[in-house]
Structure 1
Amino acid sequence: MTASRPDIRTFLCRSDNIGVLLRDPATGACAAIDVPEAGPVLAALDETGWTLTDILVTHRHADHIDGIVEVKRRTGAKVTAPAKAGSAIPAVDVAVSEGDMVRVGSLTAVVWETPGHCADHVTYWFEGPRLIFAGDTLFTLGCGRVMEAEPAVLWRSLARFEGLPDETEVYSGHDYVLSNARFARAAEPDNARLVARMEEAERAKAEGRFLVPTTLGEERATNPFVRAAEPSLARSVDLAPGTEPERVFTALRAWKNKF
């Protein structure tokens, strides 16, 4: 018997954070992926009528955890967070590390440690419905800024996604799509698929939407940071075609920091 597809609601928090609610229709269990601020999360719960049972935290940065205490106080939700964040995340009930399993009702995720943006970052991979909650590791048409490591560390975290199916949906922590698209066009101007993707992003913005989730298939075709093995991207950062993708990624990330 095929499991029911989860119900998912996405919405903006703060200025550009993405709030996500994930609900298991079989049990009614519901998780928030991070809580950038309490108000939009509580409003989404009111609008849907869903009952929050869990909060899954990707990393310790304030713009992902500021609303946890209030939302937990209002809902009683269990807070699951990366063990490596220690006491930096408030009100934690369960600390998780690489390979741990997390359940939201009948839905099951495996925890991946995906450092690079910060040392404690984790990603939640729900294999059954093929959903990945990547926080600030992988964005639509981009990747997180490297803050606590060498760029190679983030490259290795991104490389873990390579084995997942193209149809895997990726939920990221921010709506940076248009700025990412402008950089991607600069890095790979002859990518026709990317041109169409940027036009789609502009339409979405005009309509008050955002391109989250994306799919790994879309990212493999258009995201320069995922495509670092492509000869055209090596050339765009003045490296020879065939240069190790890690070096190309490092050069692309340095360029994006100044873009």
Structure 2
Amino acid sequence: MEVHLVPAFADNYIYLLRDAATGKVGVVDPGDAAPVKAALRERGWSLTHIFATHHHDDHIGGCTELKAESGATLIGARADSHRIPGLDIALDDGDSVTFGGETAEILSVPGHTRGHVAFWFAGAKALFCGDTLFALGCGRLFEGTPEEMWGSLTALRRLPDDTAVYCGHEYTLSNARFAVTVDPDNPDLRRRAEAIAAARERGEPTIPFTLGEDKRTNPFLRADDPGVQAAVGLPGADPVRVFAEIRSRKDHFRG
């Protein structure tokens, strides 16, 4: 499965997918139709599927226009049926959907929003997680609780280390600056933060990243790690409490 990044707005990423065997073309979280249409024209592709991880307008704002022009099938969470106009296939946690020769499993990952889902393409080793998991970060808790988000992150953490993660935003540089304040003695994190700073200086995206790398360096995935717990002054505490403390610190971080 081919995956192409389509930048949008200030820091969003939209993803074009193509199944080479069948020629099916999908798009993930098209907040803006214009760059998607330009990318399709450039490649001579015709859109057949639209995947929506959650209802925020910067992720679905282009869905109606793209669907009207292409006839593509719009796929998203049943829990968000009332908030994603024109949803054709409404799915629940554990359901699956076929995209050409690939199959995506639906993972319910509430926290950022109540109805948030991720699309896990096991065959392609690709995860499209919207605003639940970011490189070295996670989404703000606009509708969910720390318990829900920690549960969602641990569910994603169980996927294979070689999973390529495609998230909704280029927040990585800021996330790295924050992460080293929480986990300053992590040599893997220090090396990754330096590589991220260099990549952004060159104008390169930091997405996709591998899940294994994030498991070693993302403090939001490591709220049950004794080192992270000690670093935030909560040794031996419930991971949900530790996660909530890290999330609160990030919410107030300026860097």
Deviations 1:203-244 (A, max 9, x none): 22122221111111110111000111222211222112x322
Is 1:132 the counterpart of 2:95? The answer is: no
Q: Do the aligned partners of 2:81 and 2:87 also contact (CA within 8 Å) in 1?
A: no
- Partner residue of 1:163? 158
Is 1:192 the counterpart of 2:187? The answer is: yes
Q: Do the aligned partners of 1:177 and 1:210 also contact (CA within 8 Å) in 2?
A: no
- Of the structure 1 ranges 118-127 and 189-198, higher mean CA displacement relative to structure 2 is found in 189-198
Cα-Cα RMSD = 1.2
Aligned length: 253
Identity of aligned residues (%): 45
Please list every run of 5 or more consecutive structure 2 residues that lacks an aligned counterpart in the other structure. none
Q: How does 1:205-224 map to 2 (within 5 A)?
A: 205-224=200-219
- Of the structure 1 ranges 130-139 and 190-199, higher mean CA displacement relative to structure 2 is found in 190-199
- Partner residue of 1:252? 246
- Partner residue of 1:239? 234
Distance 2:81 2:47 in 1: 24
1:233 is matched by which residue type in structure 2? V
Is 1:85 the counterpart of 2:104? The answer is: no
- Partner residue of 2:90? 95
Please list every run of 5 or more consecutive structure 1 residues that lacks an aligned counterpart in the other structure. 1-5
Is 1:202 the counterpart of 2:207? The answer is: no
1:257 is matched by which residue type in structure 2? D
Distance 1:178 1:221 in 2: 17
Relative to structure 1, is the Cα distance of residues 214 and 27 closer, same or farther in structure 2, using a 3 angstrom cutoff?
A: same
Q: Do the aligned partners of 2:129 and 2:166 also contact (CA within 8 Å) in 1?
A: yes
- Partner residue of 2:24? 29
Partner secondary structure for residue 87 of structure 1:
coil
Q: CA deviation at 1:180?
A: 0.5
- Of the structure 1 ranges 6-15 and 39-48, higher mean CA displacement relative to structure 2 is found in 39-48
Distance 1:90 1:173 in 2: 20
Distance 2:232 2:190 in 1: 20
Is 1:179 the counterpart of 2:174? The answer is: yes
Partner secondary structure for residue 38 of structure 2:
helix
Distance 2:6 2:27 in 1: 11
Distance 2:37 2:136 in 1: 29
- Of the structure 1 ranges 169-178 and 71-80, higher mean CA displacement relative to structure 2 is found in 71-80
- Partner residue of 1:19? 14
Deviations 1:15-49 (A, max 9, x none): 11111011110001011011110111111112222
Q: CA deviation at 1:66?
A: 0.6
1:210 is matched by which residue type in structure 2? P
1:258 is matched by which residue type in structure 2? H
- Partner residue of 1:114? 109
Q: CA deviation at 1:111?
A: 0.6
Partner secondary structure for residue 211 of structure 1:
coil
Partner secondary structure for residue 225 of structure 1:
helix
Q: CA deviation at 1:144?
A: 0.6
Distance 2:178 2:105 in 1: 32
Distance 1:44 1:244 in 2: 46
Partner secondary structure for residue 47 of structure 1:
helix
Distance 2:171 2:53 in 1: 18
2:124 is matched by which residue type in structure 1? P
- Partner residue of 1:3? none
Q: Do the aligned partners of 1:19 and 1:34 also contact (CA within 8 Å) in 2?
A: yes
Deviations 1:52-80 (A, max 9, x none): 11001000011101111111122221111
Deviations 1:115-167 (A, max 9, x none): 01000101111111211111111001100111112211100011112321110
Q: CA deviation at 1:87?
A: 2.4
TM-score, normalising length: structure 1: 0.94
